[in-house]
Amino acid sequence: MWNKKRKLILDFLEKCSSNGIYCGIHGKDSNLVRVKEYCEITDYDSFVVMEDDEIKYDGAYHLYQDRNGKIVSDVNLATTITENKLNCEDKFVFDGSYVVGDNSIDDIAMQYGMSVDELLKFNDLKKSDIDEDVVLRIPCIIDKTVPIGNRGISSEQPLKGCDISHHQKEKNINWDELKENMDFVILKASDGNSKDDTFSSRAKMCNDIGIPIGAYCYNEVRYNVGDSNIYRDEKGNFDSVSLESAMRHEIEVFLNELKNKKIDYPCYLDIEANDTNEGTKDITKLYDEDSMKLLLKVWKDEIEKTGYISGIYIGKANFEKILDWYGNDLVNDFELWISGSSSYSDAATMDTVVGVPTCDENSKWKCDNVFYDDVDCWQVSECITDTGISTAVDFNYSVKNYTQSTDTIQLTDTVDSQFVVKDILGQRNNWKKNIIGGTAAGGALVAVGATYLFNTYLFNKDKNGKARRKRK
Residues 218 and 367 in one domain: yes
Domain final residue, candidates 404, 432, 458: 404
- Residues 208, 339, single domain; the answer is yes
**Whether residues 213 and 188 fall in one domain:** yes
pLDDT averaged over every residue in the chain: 75
Rounded mean pLDDT of 379-408? Answer: 83
| Structural contact between residues 381 and 348, judged by C-beta atoms closer than 8 angstroms | yes
In a domain? residue 165: yes
Side-by-side strand order, sheet with 365-367: 358-359, 365-367, 370-371
Domain match, 301 and 170 both: yes
Q: Is residue 310 part of a domain?
A: yes
Residue 417 lies in a domain: no
Residues 130 and 184 in one domain: no
Residues 103 and 79 placed together within one structural domain of the fold: no
Question: Is 90 exceeded by the pLDDT of residue 312?
Answer: yes
> Amino acid identity of 85?
K
Residues 285 and 378 in one domain: yes
Q: What digits encode the pLDDT tens for the residues 87-113?
A: 655 554 455 667 888 888 888 887 777
- The bridge status of strand 153-164 relative to strand 457-461 is unpaired
415 in a domain, yes or no?
no
Please give the Cα distance from 89 to 442 (Å, whole number): 9
Look at the chain and count its residues. 472
Domain boundary among 371, 404, 437: 404
Is this model's pTM higher than 0.85 or not?
no
pLDDT single digits (tens) 240-296: 888 899 999 999 999 989 887 888 899 999 998 764 344 447 888 888 888 899 999
Q: Is the pLDDT of residue 438 over 80?
A: no
Q: Are residues 368 and 435 in the same domain?
A: no
pLDDT higher than threshold 70 for residue 10: yes
- The angle at the Cα of 147, spanning 268 to 371, to the nearest 5 degrees, equals 55
Question: Is residue 236 packed enough to be buried (19+ CB in 10 Å), middle (13-18) or exposed (0-12)?
Answer: exposed
Largest Cα separation within the chain, whole Å, is 81
Which CATH number covers residue 126? 3.10.350.10
The answer to whether 216 and 270 have CB atoms below 8 angstroms apart is: yes
Give me the amino acid identity at 111: Q
Are 241 and 269 part of one and the same domain?
Answer: yes
pLDDT at position 23 over 90: no
Last residue of one domain, picked from the residues 404, 436, 451:
404
Question: Considering its fold, how many domains does the chain have in total?
Answer: 3
Residue 150 pLDDT exceeds 60:
no
Q: In 10 A of CB 235, how many CB atoms?
A: 6
Q: What is the mean pLDDT of residues 370-375?
A: 67
Is residue 411 one of the residues assigned to a domain?
A: no
CATH code where residue 241 lies: 3.20.20.80
From 161-170, 209-218, 415-424, the region with the lowest mean pLDDT: 415-424
Is residue 451 one of the residues assigned to a domain? Answer: yes
Kindly report, residue by residue over 79-92, the tens digit of the pLDDT. 766 776 666 555 54
Q: Taking the alpha carbons of 212, 270, 379, 150 in that order, is the dihedral positive or negative?
A: negative
401: which residues sit within 8 A by CB, 6+ positions away?
152, 153, 154, 155, 159
Is 409 part of a structural domain of the chain? no
Tell me which residue range forms the domain holding 133: 94-141
Percent of the chain residues topping a pLDDT of 70: 71
Give mean pLDDT, residues 446-453: 31
* Pair (317, 395) in one structural domain: yes
Query: Would the CA dihedral through 381, 225, 312, 360 be positive or negative?
Result: positive
Query: 302 and 177, same structural domain?
Result: yes
Region 26-35: what's the mean pLDDT?
89
When mean pLDDT is compared across 122-136, 325-339, 448-462, the lowest value belongs to 448-462
Residue 102 has what DSSP assignment?
Answer: S
**Same-domain status, 251 and 375:** yes
